[in-house]
Amino acid sequence: MRNPKHLEEFAHPADESYLTCCKEECLEPEFVSIRKLFEWCDSNDTGKATRPDLERIWPQMTALGQDVPAMTDTLWSQLDDDGNGQINFSEFAEITTKYHVRLPLGLDDLFESNNGGDEMLECGVMNCDCHHFQGQRSRCKFGDKCYQTKEEHRRDFVHPGDPDWEAAHHSRGDKEMCVCGHKKKLHASSRSGVNAVDYPSYWSSQVIDGKEYNNQPEVIPEIARHLQILMERTYSDVTTRDRVRSSALASGGNGSWEVPRGFTLTKAMRSENSKLWRKYAIKKADLQKERRAATEPYAAFSDVLTSQVWEELDSDRLDSDINEWYLFHGTSASAALNICSTDFKMRLAGTATGTLYGKGSYLAESITKADEYAKCEGGVFTVLLCRVLGGAVNYNDERTPDPDELTKSCTEGDFDCVIGDRKKLSGTYREFVIFDTENVYPEYIIQYQRGEMFKSPSHPENQHR
């Protein structure tokens, strides 16, 4: 039906209102993309799906995919690989890729740059074998006697011998209708798997034959110099109880309040992991879409020191509209490599840093704060420099916050992360807490040596003098 009145009155599978109408009418939808399938699964419109949510659409997964197993505890544990008890769209996209679900991802509204030129658009109508949208053309009235050689004529009209000659209309062609018989809006980018997103141009790794990659090349001298400057400019001599606890655990004895006088870079590697970057890129595009649709902008936190310094040093731009930052995460060399290979694990969150602001991954804008959690291995300490999607921030400056409520505000509520402002409260540091691994990409592994340890002005003994 092409009648404007009909199109206005009725919702169709590619329309924004289609799933809402199906829900109101208690109808089972037709799915034209992975994105639409996830939106149906995400019944509460939170951007996250629980196991019961996923089980509701598992029959569709089984029908559309290949060798899809039954949902079991073991399978759920594998699907929820970060252990936070929920699946977001980027994780869902990985699941559907793994089981070869026969639908395009439907990311065109997220990655607008993918939606033009010669991009191949795949039909999302079930059982349609069209993998490349071709607008319908009219038959040339001269048929095989046509003498026209102009490219525009050959583009707009079909001639005998063309594969779409039999299907072509005798009347004016319809460029919004594919030769497969389905509308253009029912088609979506055919990019999937490792080819679904673009990767940073400065990475040395490249996609070859559609294969995933996970490499950690050593950075060039210029980037190493920038990382050294970043450590110098985010240095602070302020010490906290977390340093006391960490040093006590490391030594097996009493902890120390002393802080290093500085940090010297010994080695730096960039993590180039196609799978982890794809999850981050999809989440970032999702937040950007959410931001564009919002009536009010996110509360902006543009004063994050690590981001400010890095953007001065490097040309790679962050999206301040969705609170995208660079932040440090202190860890060990072995754990850093594991994180860069398999991502942060939310089931382990809080084991090293505590859970003052909830059970999430804790990051810092100061190298000194991140160093409190860095472990010495082989004479060097390690931190990660991560890209972080802050999104909607739940800012907290309470002296005794409720960690359970803060966690729920992000895992079940409208927020994406928590900023706990201990700098305002006690002059120490701000804590940045992330509850979803897709909001963090560990990009640089930084190894360094500590300078001389000393009693800073913030040391309790100095304060009492």
- pLDDT tens readout for residues 197-206: 889 999 999 9
- Residue 22 has φ and ψ, to the nearest 5°, of -60, -40
pLDDT band at 109 (very low <50, low <70, confident <90, very high): low
pLDDT in tens, 427-438: 999 999 998 888
Token reading at 358: 């909830």
Please state the rounded mean pLDDT for residues 243-271.
Answer: 90
**CA–CA gap between residue 217 and residue 272 (Å, rounded):** 8
> What is the DSSP code string of 370-435?
HHTT---BTTBEEEEEEEEE--SEEEE--SS--HHHHHHHHHTSS-SEEEEEHHHHHSS-EEEEE-
Q: What 3-state DSSP class applies to 108?
A: coil
From CA 192, how far away is CA 103, in angstroms rounded? 10
Q: How many CA atoms lie within 13 A of 76 on its CB side?
A: 14
pLDDT of residue 118: 47
When pLDDT is cut at 50, 70 and 90, the band that residue 114 belongs to is: very low
Query: Is residue 15 helix, strand or coil?
Result: coil
Cβ atoms of residues 446 and 218 within 8 Å: no
pLDDT band at 449 (very low <50, low <70, confident <90, very high): very high
Range among 105-109, 249-253, 269-273 with highest mean pLDDT value = 269-273
Q: 277-304, pLDDT tens digit by residue?
A: 998 998 898 888 888 888 888 899 999 9
For 199, how many CA atoms within 13 A lie in the half-sphere containing its CB?
A: 22
Which of 430, 142, 133, 437 minimizes the C-alpha distance to 307?
430
Record the tokens describing residue 112, joined without a space. 């607008």
Domains and CATH numbers, the chain: 214-463 (3.90.228.10)
- Average pLDDT of the segment spanning 65-82: 87
Angle between helices 89-98 and 34-41 (to 10 degrees): 120
Q: End-to-end alpha-carbon separation of the chain, Å?
A: 84
Mean pLDDT of 19-28: 90
Average pLDDT of the segment spanning 404-411: 90
User: What kind and span of H or E run contains 283?
Assistant: helix 274-293
pLDDT value of position 252? 73
Over the chain, what is the mean pLDDT? 86
- Looking at residue 465, its pLDDT comes to 40
| 345/229: higher pLDDT | 229
Compute the average pLDDT of residues 372-382.
Answer: 93
Task: List the single range of 93-107, 152-166, 288-302, 410-424 with lowest mean pLDDT.
Answer: 152-166
Whether the model pTM is above 0.95: no
Q: What pLDDT, on the 0 to 100 scale, is given for residue 181?
A: 75
**Nearest Cα to 432, choosing from 391, 383, 463?**
391
pLDDT classification of 173: cutoffs 50, 70, 90: low
Model confidence band, residue 344 (pLDDT cutoffs 50, 70, 90): confident
Comparing 138-152, 168-182, 215-229, 313-327, the range with the smallest average pLDDT is: 168-182
- Residues of the chain with pLDDT > 90, as a percent, come to 44
Q: Which two tokens stand for residue 460?
A: 């309790």
